[in-house]
Amino acid sequence: MKALVAVKRVVDYNVKVRVKADGSDVDIGNVKMSMNPFDEIAVEEAVRLKEAGKVTEIVAVSLGEKKCEETLRTALAMGADRAVHVETDTKLEPLAVAKLLKAVADKEQPQILLLGKQAIDDDANQTAQMLAALMNAAQATFAAKVEVGDGEVTVTREIDGGEETLALKLPAVISTDLRLNEPRFVKLPNIMAAKKKPLEKLAPADLNVDISPRISVLKVAEPKARQAGIKLANVGELVEKLKNEAKVI
C-alpha cells in the first residue's frame, strides 16, 4: 500500500513574525523556514506504518517555490522513499493545493493520504477536507491514532471534550493532530542518504490545474498589545470590579 504525505515549507515555529510596515502581509524575508510541524507528524506516521509492514512506499509531496526541495529532503531523510515537487512561485490557496494534491494522487494512486491538520503560517485548516471532497474519499481530521486494517483504516480523532473513533474505507485522507506521535530526530547518515533518493519535478500546468488566486488579503495587523494588569488587595475588591467595572457578574 502506498502512502502520500503532503509537506509544506513554512516559517519555523520559533520565529516571531513581524507585519510589514504597510500592513500588506507578514515579513518573511530572511527568516528560518522549516517543515510544517503537523506535516512532520504526518511523515513520522507514514514511516511508522512502513516499519510495521502496513505501507510499502511513501511519497512526499510539496508544492511551492524552489526551496521546497529542502523540505522534501527532510521528509526523505525521515524515511520517505520518493519525493514530488510541484514548483511554482504563485502563492497557493488551500483550494489550489487540494487540486494539485488530487492531481498527484490520480497519478500515484495512494491508499492513504496524510496531511497536517493545519499549516502554521496561514492556519487555514482546509486542505485535507477539500482534498477528501475532490477525491470523493473518506476523511478523518485531527487524528490522534491511526491503525491500518484490511481494506480500511481506523482513526481515533481528537474532538471537543474527548475522542471519536472512525473506520474509513480506503483510499482515505487523514489529517494529523499533535498527539499522534513524536517525530524522530533525523540523523546525519539519513540526511546524506536522502540526497540520493528520487525527487520528481512537476509544474502546475503538467497537472492541468488552475492555481490562480481567488482571495486577496486586504490587511494584516499585529494583535493589540495587552494592557498591564493590576493587583487587588482582596476578593471583595475583585468582586466589586467584576460587578461595576467589567460588568461580567
Does 110 help bind ligand AMP (rule: CB under 6 A)? no
Q: End-to-end CA distance of the chain: give it in Å, rounded.
A: 58
Does 54 help bind ligand AMP (rule: CB under 6 A)? no
Which one, 66 or 243, has the nearer CB to ligand AMP?
66
Does 94 help bind ligand AMP (rule: CB under 6 A)? yes
Contact stretch for ligand AMP (CB under 6 A) within 55-63, 74-82, 189-197, 228-236: 55-63
**Closest residue to ligand AMP, Cβ-based?**
116
Which one, 50 or 142, has the nearer CB to ligand AMP?
142
Question: Residue 85 and residue 16: Cα distance in Å, rounded?
Answer: 28
Report the 10 Å Cβ neighbour count for 11: 18
Does 202 help bind ligand AMP (rule: CB under 6 A)? no
Which one, 68 or 153, has the nearer CB to ligand AMP?
68
Q: Which residues of 176-213 are buried (b: 16+ CB within 10 A; e: fewer)?
A: bbeebbebeebeeeeeeebeebebeebebeebebebee
One-letter identity of residue 146: V
The cell for 101 is: 494534491
* Residues at the site binding ligand AMP, with contacts judged by CB under 6 A: 6-8, 36, 38-39, 61-64, 92, 94, 97, 115-116, 118-119, 122, 124-128
